[in-house]
C-alpha cells in the first residue's frame, strides 16, 4: 500500500508540474512525452530507493517516529539520482528545470502527509487486530509469559499471538529434564500445527539449560526464534546486538552522537554562530553600552558551569543583575527579583542576555542547541534529587534547548519543574537530529513558549 501510494503521489506531482509548466510558459498542453517520462522516472527512482532501504515493511509504519526524516532522506537521494541520470544520459535539456524543482519542493509536504496517513491507518489497524505483520507463539512459565505479554503488548507492534505453551514445574520424584522434554514435545507439536512466523521464549536469561532446550525444540521448524527481553531492557529504547569478529555483545546504549553527527553539528554551530555574531555585532555593542550606563559593574557576566562530560567552563552572558555570584551557594533569579537591573529585565525577557554565548559556541564549549547549563552549585543539588540528571552532560550544553522552547525556563523552585526540564533534555539527547536542531532554533525565535516564564 505504501509503495503504491508513493508511486501515485510522486508520479502525479511530476506529471502535474511538467504539464503546468508547459501551459504557463508555452501555452500548450502536452499530456504525453516529457510529462510522462519525468513522472515515471521520479516515481521509479523513489520506489527503488525505498525498496533498497527496506522501508516497505509493516514494522516501519507502526509509529510516526522517524517517518518524516526517512521519507525526506529518500526523496533527496531520489533527486540526486535523477539529476545524475539526466547528466549521464545527456538528456537534461529535455526536461524543464522549473518542473523538476517544483516536483521536488511539492514532494516534501505531499510525501510527509502520505506517510503520516499510512502510519495512522496501519497503527490503528494493528491495535484492533485488523492488520498483522507477524503471528507469534509464546512459550515459558506462566508468570514469565504473562509478564512479557503485559509489558510488551505484542499487538501494538503488529503481532498476533496464535498460541501459548507453558512450562510446568516438575512433579515430585520426577526427573526435571524429563518433565521439560515432555512440555517441549507438546509445545513443538502445537507450534507446528499453528504455523506461526516466530516463537518467543519467555524464560529468565540466567536459566541457560532451559533456554537451550527450548531453542533445540524449535530449531527444526521454519520460524524465527526470539528470546523475550529481560526487565532491565525496558529502560532502553534500542538495545542492539553488536558483533566484532567472533565477539558479540548486547549494547544497551551508545554515545549520543556518532563521530559523523558530532562533525555535522559542530560545522553547523561554527557556521551559524559566525554569521550571527557578525550580523548582531551592532546590537551587541548597543547592549554593552546600555549595561554600562544602567548600573555599575562589568558588561559580561562569567560563571563556571558544567559542559560536555562534566568538564568545567566559564559561560558568557550579558550582566542582567547587580550581583555576579559564582560560589558554593547561588540564589536563582525569581520573578520581580530586586537584583535584576532595568536593562536586565528587557534582556532576560527576550533572551538577549544569552547572545554572548556565541563566543562559547565558537570556542567549542557549547553548541547552539542542547541542554541549558546550570551553575555548579545547582548541578550538585539536582544530582542528588533527580535520577540521571548528570546524563544531560553527555552532549554539549546549548544556548537554547528542547526544554526552553516548550516553556520550561526560568526559576526551578520545585523539584517537579526541574524534573520536567531534565526529562525534555534527555528526550532531546535520545532523539537528536539536525532537523530537530533547526526546529528548536526556529521555535526559539518565533514561538511564544520560548519567551514564557522569563524572570
Q: Find the range with the poorest average confidence among 77-81, 295-299, 337-341.
A: 337-341
Do 344 and 321 meet the contact criterion of CB atoms below 8 Å apart? yes
pLDDT of residue 329: 67
Dihedral sign from CA coordinates of 27, 28, 33, 38: positive
Confidence label for 138 from pLDDT (cuts 50, 70 and 90): very high
The candidate with the shortest Cα–Cα distance to 43, out of 69, 70, 17, is: 17
**pLDDT over 60 (residue 231):** yes
Three-state DSSP state, 368: strand
pLDDT of residue 45: 92
Q: Find the range with the poorest average confidence among 60-69, 140-149, 254-263, 421-430.
A: 60-69
Beta strand pairing call for 312-318 and 367-369: unpaired
Q: Output the CA angle 313-270-277, nearest 5 degrees.
A: 85
Do 362 and 277 meet the contact criterion of CB atoms below 8 Å apart? yes
Residue 35 or 194, more confident: 194
Confidence label for 209 from pLDDT (cuts 50, 70 and 90): very high
- The residues that bridge with 319 in the sheet, in sequence order, are none
Q: Please state, in angstroms and as integers, the Cα–Cα distance from residue 44 to each residue in 9, 50, 59, 117, 296, following that order.
A: 12, 10, 23, 22, 68
CA 202 to chain centre: 30
Confidence label for 36 from pLDDT (cuts 50, 70 and 90): confident
Instruction: Domains for the chain: give ranges and CATH numbers.
Output: 2-127 (no CATH), 134-251 (3.40.50.1860), 259-451 (no CATH)
* pTM for this model (two decimals): 0.64
**pLDDT over 80 (residue 64):** no
Give Cβ neighbours of residue 125 (< 8 Å, ≥ 6 apart).
131
Q: What does the DSSP 8-state code read for residue 273?
A: H
The string of pLDDT tens digits covering residues 395-452 is 999 999 999 999 887 666 677 888 899 999 999 998 898 889 999 999 998 887 766 6
Q: How far apart are CA 67 and CA 361, in angstroms?
A: 31
Q: Please state, in angstroms and as integers, the Cα–Cα distance from residue 315 to each residue in 82, 372, 379, following that order.
A: 47, 11, 15
Three-state DSSP state, 95: coil
Q: How far apart are CA 306 and CA 393, in angstroms?
A: 7
**pLDDT over 90 (residue 182):** yes
Listed in order, strand segments (DSSP E) in 141-206 are 159-166, 198-202
Amino acid at each position: 500500500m505504501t509503495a503504491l501510494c508513493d508511486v501515485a503521489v510522486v508520479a502525479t506531482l511530476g506529471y502535474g508540474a511538467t504539464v503546468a509548466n508547459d501551459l504557463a510558459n508555452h501555452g500548450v498542453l502536452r499530456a504525453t512525452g516529457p510529462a510522462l517520462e519525468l513522472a515515471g522516472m521520479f516515481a521509479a527512482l523513489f520506489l527503488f530507493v525505498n525498496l533498497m532501504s527496506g522501508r516497505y515493511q509493516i514494522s516501519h509504519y507502526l509509529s510516526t517516529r522517524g517517518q518524516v526524516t526517512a521519507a525526506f532522506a529518500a526523496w533527496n537521494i531520489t533527486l540526486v539520482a535523477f539529476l545524475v541520470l539526466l547528466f549521464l544520459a545527456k538528456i537534461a535539456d529535455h526536461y524543464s528545470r522549473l518542473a523538476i524543482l517544483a516536483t521536488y519542493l511539492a514532494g516534501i509536504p505531499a510525501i510527509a502527509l502520505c506517510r503520516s496517513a499510512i502510519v495512522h491507518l496501519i497503527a490503528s489497524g494493528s491495535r484492533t487486530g485488523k492488520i498483522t505483520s507477524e503471528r507469534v507463539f509464546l512459550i515459558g512459565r506462566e508468570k514469565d509469559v504473562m509478564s512479557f505479554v503485559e509489558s510488551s503488548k505484542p499487538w501494538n507492534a503488529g503481532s498476533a499471538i496464535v498460541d501459548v505453551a507453558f512450562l510446568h514445574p516438575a512433579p515430585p520424584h520426577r526427573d526435571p529434564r524429563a518433565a521439560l522434554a515432555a512440555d517441549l514435545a507438546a509445545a513443538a507439536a502445537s507450534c507446528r500445527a499453528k504455523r506461526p512466523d516466530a516463537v518467543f521464549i519467555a524464560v529468565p536469561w540466567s536459566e541457560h539449560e532451559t533456554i537451550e532446550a527450548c531453542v533445540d525444540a524449535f530449531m527444526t521448524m521454519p520460524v524465527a526464534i526470539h528470546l523475550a527481553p529481560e526487565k532491565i531492557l525496558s529502560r532502553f529504547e534500542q538495545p542492539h546486538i553488536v558483533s566484532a569478529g567472533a565477539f558479540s555483545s548486547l549494547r544497551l546504549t551508545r554515545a549520543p552522537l556518532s563521530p559523523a553527527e558530532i562533525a555535522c553539528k559542530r560545522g553547523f554551530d561554527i557556521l551559524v554562530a559566525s554569521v550571527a555574531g557578525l550580523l548582531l555585532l551592532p546590537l551587541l555593542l548597543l547592549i554593552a553600552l546600555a549595561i554600562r550606563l544602567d548600573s555599575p559593574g562589568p558588561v559580561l557576566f562569567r560563571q563556571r558551569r558544567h559542559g560536555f562530560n562534566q568538564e568545567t567552563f566559564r559561560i558568557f552572558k550579558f550582566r542582567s543583575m547587580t550581583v555576579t555570584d559564582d560560589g558554593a551557594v547561588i540564589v536563582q533569579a525569581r520573578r520581580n527579583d530586586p537584583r535584576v537591573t532595568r536593562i536586565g529585565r528587557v534582556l532576560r525577557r527576550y533572551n538577549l542576555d544569552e547572545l554572548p554565548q556565541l563566543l562559547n559556541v565558537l570556542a567549542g564549549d557549547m553548541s547552539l542547541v542542547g541542554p541549558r547549563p546550570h551553575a555548579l552549585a545547582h548541578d550538585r543539588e539536582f544530582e542528588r534529587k533527580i535520577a540521571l540528571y548528570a546524563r544531560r552532560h553527555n552532549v554539549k550544553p546549548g544556548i537554547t534547548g528542547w526544554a526552553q522552547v516548550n516553556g520550561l525556563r526560568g526559576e526551578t523552585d520545585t523539584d517537579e519543574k526541574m524534573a520536567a526540564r531534565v526529562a525534555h533534555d534527555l528526550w532531546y539527547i535520545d532523539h537528536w537530529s539536525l532537523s530537530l536542531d533547526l526546529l528548536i532554533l526556529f521555535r526559539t525565535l518565533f514561538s511564544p513558549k520560548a519567551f514564557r516564564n522569563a524572570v
